[in-house]
Amino acid sequence: MASIKQNLADQPLPDFRNSGVMLRSLLGVNLLALGAALVQSQGVQDSLQHFIDMAAWVQPLLLFDLALLALLGNSLQRVSAWIGRTLVLLLAAVSAMLLSALWSHLLFADGGGGQGLLRAGLLAALAAGFMLGYFALRAGALSPALVEARLQALSARIRPHFLFNSLNAVLSLIRVDPRRAETALEELADLFRALMRDHRELVPLADELALCRQYLDLEKLRLAERLHVEWDIAPNLPLDLKVPPLMVQPLLENAVYHGIEPLGDPGSIRIRLAHRADALQLDIVNPCAGGAEKQRGSHMALDNIRERLALYYDLEARLETHAVALGDGRHEYRVRIVLPCRAHWR
Amino acid sequence: MNVPAATPSLSLLVCDDEAPALARLRDLLSDIAPQLPNEIVAEADNGLHALAAIEGMRVDVALVDIRMPKMDGIELARHLSRLEHPPAVIFTTAYEVYAVQAFELNAVDYLLKPVRAWRLLEALRKVHRQAPLSAALLAQLPQGARSHLSCHERGRLLLIAVAEIVYLRADLKYVTARTRDREFLLDESLTHLEREFGGQFIRLHRGVLVARDAVSGFEKSGDGDDAETQWQAILRDLPERLPVSRRQWPLLKSFARQLSS
């Protein structure tokens, strides 16, 4: 299991299955090619021609290598970073030499023989090495951000408001319903244990959902019939999928704090989890008592989750929010998270 | 410092939107009853219900949660302070940093939840020695715009939902709030009201604020020949027209354009 923590400790290979990594590789190598074209040529027009000539060579190679790396992605994550790096360099060099040989064979051109092949291999390895260096630097630059995000996660989550109100509710139960008070304290303990874990490690989706249920149980203690919860979990959901910790619970806390508490009347929170193609889709819907006015103060939790999603998944995850006016004058607030769902390979 | 045995029991209003929190206060109050006789005469789950529950009653102390739906604790305290016999207000809060800072600053009594019996006892004993919170002081506490305004009528405190007000008009001495059904006399200044409800109301005239939602359009009055032509606001629910001053009209143009589009 590749955890974020280990990944950062020894600056691992980038995950080539991530579309963000692919995009960066494509752009980076093409920029290198453009630079090379500029160096080789006299004028701008000239260099454009050079670049186009080179593209016939660079693009197929690049696409082939990226596709292969994406397929290998899983195994590459398993070996140590140095072996992985060597493999990537070798792959780039060998594929470049093969392509070069194929090209000269097809065009009956003299590719410069062994010297030409070697040159192609070296150039490709150089480009690959440059990109790997860039990715390692980028991971290094982001790792303090991950630590920071973790700290933010610690402070942004669980409003003290919730803790003190829950304790107050438990106190009120001790005399009349000691058993319920016991369960409530146990749940509170579990909740805080989960909150105090190391937040860089991904957690199974099932754990995050269990945490959410415990949290909602405690809220029901205070809010009783004012809080309705509707769960809709697709049967094919990969419950062992690893997700960032505290990805869902803060959203539910927002839904209770901004949606149910100011409402006065009973209201319901709908939670839907679906598995579509290669993505996990999570929707949380709550009533919005303030009318069209946005859920104020909820941005901290949302920004925090959005940031962490970007750190874990780069461009492949997204978080969207909408305030929707319903026909009968009521308003709803909707949050949607979409995550890539291929970790069950791991 | 024991309370003399002859002390009549304190009558209390307890207001919290969470049932367990109410239950807890009930327990604590009965725990301290031997030291300080007290009686809960009304319970409510938000400010609006609290005002309805104590209608015509005389209450010594109100224990009021800050964060409640429909009408929060600070707004409730402001309306309570306008009663003929305003109760002493003690706020309860789980964790409202800004409110607590303001309470400290203004020497307003508050209890942190979970409330402790001895703290409650202490706060209730102080009540005898303290003047009730003044409206001016309460107005300094952090809060959003009120949900209701209140006015006195034949000895009763009437609440007017801000959402139902069509316009506010300043006359010589008073401000009149006009709803669909009737008018209410307020003893507040139009300037203050404009500051508090600037988002919901818009100024037509030196003496008139109108609810943005209540305006359906604008029209010109008079024949239009003279220099005296003036714009007027047309209201959705009332037949009367409200005059727009020349000074305000330039500021209202963009609003009028939104309406007609």
- Cα maximum dimension of chain A: 93
A163 and A133, same domain (yes or no) = no
In this predicted complex, what is the ipTM?
Answer: 0.78
Side chain identity at B213, as an amino acid letter?
D
Closest-CA residue to B112 (of A168, A166, A189):
A168
Domain region containing B114? 10-139
Give the gap in angstroms from C-alpha A206 to the nearest C-alpha of chain B. 30
Amino acid type, A293: E
Say whether both A173 and A236 belong to one domain. yes
Integer Cα distance of B78 and B188 in angstroms = 13
Residues B123 and B237 in one domain: no
Q: How many CB atoms lie within 10 A of CB B213?
A: 12
> Do B214 and B110 belong to one domain?
no
For residue B222, what is the domain's CATH number?
Answer: 2.40.50.1020
- From B112, B139, B166, the end of a domain falls on B139
Q: What is the CA radius of gyration of chain A?
A: 26
* Whether A262 and B17 lie within 8 Å, measured CB to CB: no
pLDDT for the residue numbered A5: 45
Which residue, among A57, A84, A81, has the nearest Cα to A7 in the 3D structure?
A: A81
| Mean pLDDT rounded to a whole number for chain B | 86
pLDDT confidence of residue A292? 43
Rounded to the nearest angstrom, the minimum Cα separation between A17 and chain B is 45
Q: Is the pLDDT higher at A158 or at B30? A: B30
For residue B118, give both structure tokens. 């001895």
Residues facing B205 on adjacent strands = B208
Do residue A243 and residue A201 come from a single domain?
yes
Higher pLDDT, B226 or B96: B96
Residue A223: closest C-alpha in chain B:
B18
Contact A165 B113 (CB under 8 A): yes
A341 and A240, same domain (yes or no) = yes
A284 and A184 inside one domain: yes
| Neighbouring residues of A272: CB distance < 8 A, sequence distance ≥ 6 | A232, A233, A281, A282, A283, A284, A285
**pLDDT tens for each residue of B166-210:** 999 998 878 999 999 999 999 888 988 898 888 889 999 888 999
- Does the residue B3 lie in any domain? no
Domain that includes residue A321, residue range = 157-345
What pLDDT does A131 receive?
87
**Distance (Å, whole) CA A337 – CA A274:** 11
**Total of domains in chain B:** 2
In the beta sheet, which residues pair with residue A232?
A272
- Both B84 and B179 in one domain: the answer is no
Distance CA A91, CA A64 (A): 10
Any alpha helices (H) in chain B, and if so which ranges? 19-31, 47-53, 73-80, 97-106, 117-127, 135-139, 190-196, 249-260
Q: In this structure, are B193 and B82 located in the same domain?
A: no
Residues B171 and B125 in one domain: no
Last residue of a domain, one of A118, A152, A186: A152
d(CA A303, CA A284) in angstroms, rounded, equals: 16
Do A294 and A188 lie in a common domain? Answer: yes
In a domain, B5, yes or no: no
- Clarify whether residues B21 and B133 are in a common domain: yes
CA distance B28 to chain A (A): 10
Considering the domain architecture, whether residues A220 and A257 belong to the same structural domain is answered as yes
- Chain B residue with the nearest C-alpha to that of A165: B94
pLDDT at B175: 92
Domain final position from A95, A123, A152: A152
Name the domain count of chain A: 2
Is B20 within 8 Å of A173 when comparing Cβ atoms? yes
- Given a contact cutoff of 8 angstroms between Cβ atoms, the answer to whether B103 and B110 are in contact is yes
Tokens of A261: 């508490």
Backbone phi and psi for residue B186, each to the nearest 5 degrees, phi listed first: -110, 150
Whether A258 and A337 map to the same domain: the answer is: yes
Do B194 and B233 form a contact (C-beta atoms < 8 A)? no
Give the strand pairing for B88-93 and B61-65: parallel
Same domain assignment for residues B118 and B17: yes
Q: Determine what percent of chain B is predicted with pLDDT higher than 90.
A: 41
Q: What is the CATH number of the domain that holds A196?
A: 3.30.565.10
Q: Are residues A302 and A332 in the same domain?
A: yes
For residue B32, the domain's CATH number is: 3.40.50.2300
The stretch B59-82 carries a mean pLDDT of 91
User: Does a structural domain hold residue B4?
Assistant: no
Residue B1 lies in a domain: no
CA-based R_g, chain B, Å = 23
Query: In the listed set A120, A135, A152, which residue is the last one of a domain according to the structure?
Result: A152
Is there a single domain that holds both residue B43 and residue B116? Answer: yes
Q: Are residues A148 and A247 in the same domain?
A: no
Show which of B83, B115, B139 is a domain's final residue: B139
Q: pLDDT tens digits, chain A, 346 residues: what are they?
A: 344 444 433 567 788 888 888 888 888 888 888 888 888 888 888 888 888 888 878 888 888 888 888 888 777 777 787 888 888 888 888 888 888 888 777 776 655 667 778 888 888 888 888 888 888 888 777 777 666 666 566 555 667 888 899 999 999 999 999 999 999 999 999 888 887 776 667 889 999 999 999 999 999 999 989 999 999 999 988 888 988 888 899 899 989 988 999 888 899 999 999 998 889 999 999 998 765 454 555 677 788 788 888 878 878 899 999 888 887 878 899 999 999 886 444 4
Same domain, B102 and B218: no
Supply the pLDDT for residue A215.
93
Which are the contacts of A10, defined by CB distance < 8 A and separation ≥ 6? Answer: A80, A81
Interface of B with A (CB under 8 A): 17-21, 23-24, 27, 45-46, 67, 69-70, 94-96, 112-115
Q: Which residue is closest to B45 within chain A, CA to CA?
A: A264
In a domain, B30, yes or no: yes
User: Is B98 a member of any domain?
Assistant: yes
Considering only the beta carbons, identify the residue of B17, B21, B45 that sits closest to A172: B21
- The residue of chain B with its CA nearest to that of A219 is B18
Say if residue A175 is in the same domain as residue A123. Answer: no
Looking at the structure, tell me whether residues A124 and A250 fall in a common domain. Answer: no
Q: Is the pTM of this model over 0.90?
A: no
Instruction: Assess whether B164 and B102 both reside in one domain.
Output: no
Residues B16 and B114 in one domain: yes
Average pLDDT score over residue span B52-67:
92
- Over residues B69-83, mean pLDDT: 90
Q: Which residues touch A107 (CB under 8 Å, ≥6 apart)?
A: none
Q: What is the mean pLDDT of residues B116-142?
A: 81
Do B34 and B87 lie in a common domain?
yes
Strand arrangement of the beta sheet that strand B88-93 belongs to: B38-44, B10-15, B61-65, B88-93, B110-112
pLDDT of residue A216: 95
Identify the DSSP state of A244.
Answer: -
